[in-house]
Every structure is written in C-alpha cells, then in structure tokens.
Amino acid sequence: MRSLSVFNQVSLDGYFKVPDGDVSWTHTQDDDAEFNDFVADNAAGGGALLFGRKTYELMEAFWPTPAAAQQFPSVAKHMNATPKVVFSRTLPKSSWNATRIVKDDMLGAVRQLKADDGKPMAILGSGSIVTQLARANLIDEYQFLILPIVLGAGKGMFDGLDKRFGLQLTKTRTFRNGKVFLAYEPRR
C-alpha cells in the first residue's frame, strides 16, 4: 500500500497562498546549499504527484520550461518525469508529460492509488484537495516548510475543513536561510 503526504510552503502566519492566489513569495533563490540539497532530494523521492487544477496549471506553466531546467535542474528533471494526477472537472487536456486527469470520484481514485504498489505519493499545494482528502482520512503525512515571512492575509491549507484532528510531530529540520521543515502524522 502506498502512502500519501502533503507538502506545502506556509508563511509564519499560516497561509500558503495570498488572497489573489500569488505564490511567488515561495520562489526565492536560496544561497543555502543544505536547503537546496533538501529540495532536490525531496523532489526525487516520490512515486506520483497529485494536484488540483489551479496548482497543476501553475506547475505546468513552469517546470517544463528552459528557465526551470536552468534554475533548478535536478528538481525540474524529477517534476517532469514523475507521474502526475490532476483532479479537475474542467481541465480538458494536459500537455505536461506523464499526466492523467481524473474528472470524478476523487476519493475513490485516491483510495485506488493508495491500494496499488509503488512509491509514496505527494500532494503539492492544492488546498481544496488537501481539505477533502484530510476530511476522508486519506493523508498519511503532512509536511510543512515554514518560510520566514508574514503575509497578513491569504488562504490557509485547511480552509473549509469542518472537523478537528490531532497531529503528531515526526520530523523537524531547520535551515540557515530561516526556513523550518515540519512533518506530522495524523493521530488515529
């Protein structure tokens, strides 16, 4: 059985997206070699990436480009080669390689993906997908990269979640650039 994790970059005040949807604040060039190695290793480890339409379109617009290959060669290579699943009722087609669109029964599709053999899967961004999958207890690990920035307003990763659930801290890591990685598992 495959595991499913969420990876999101979050501001100190708990937002992963500003009100207008801009996520450019997450794309800073870091002179922290340890952090850059962490990002490259993290990108290399997954068996599939799961997205909602909005996050997918942001990723598709950047990772297959020459700019991505130049700025983040290792990450771009893995992002482009890794199988991707997009949950969208409105996305007609995809031009990004290794992409499958699921138009209905997201929960059933995720249950099937988890039941299959293979490497762990990860959700990147995709707040509405995270909320729905968290509500259905389908997420095995929550990974947050806390960035040293205060946005003042925005969208929280769990906006719309209508239940409480506890998490247990399993990993921490701090970086010279001020970013902090936290990983949690649900308390079941």
pLDDT in tens, 59-99: 899 999 999 999 888 888 888 999 999 999 999 999 898 99
| Domain ranges for the chain | 4-172
Q: Per DSSP, what are the bridge partners of residue 147?
A: 11
The mean pLDDT of 134-150, rounded to a whole number, is 93
* Angle subtended at Cα 112 by Cα 111 and Cα 116, rounded to the nearest 5 degrees: 120
The mean pLDDT of 37-64, rounded to a whole number, is 83
What is the pLDDT, as a whole number, of residue 44? 59
Q: Is 104 helix (H, G, I), strand (E, B) or coil?
A: coil
Q: Does the 4-172 domain belong in CATH 1.10.3720.10?
A: no
pTM here is: 0.89
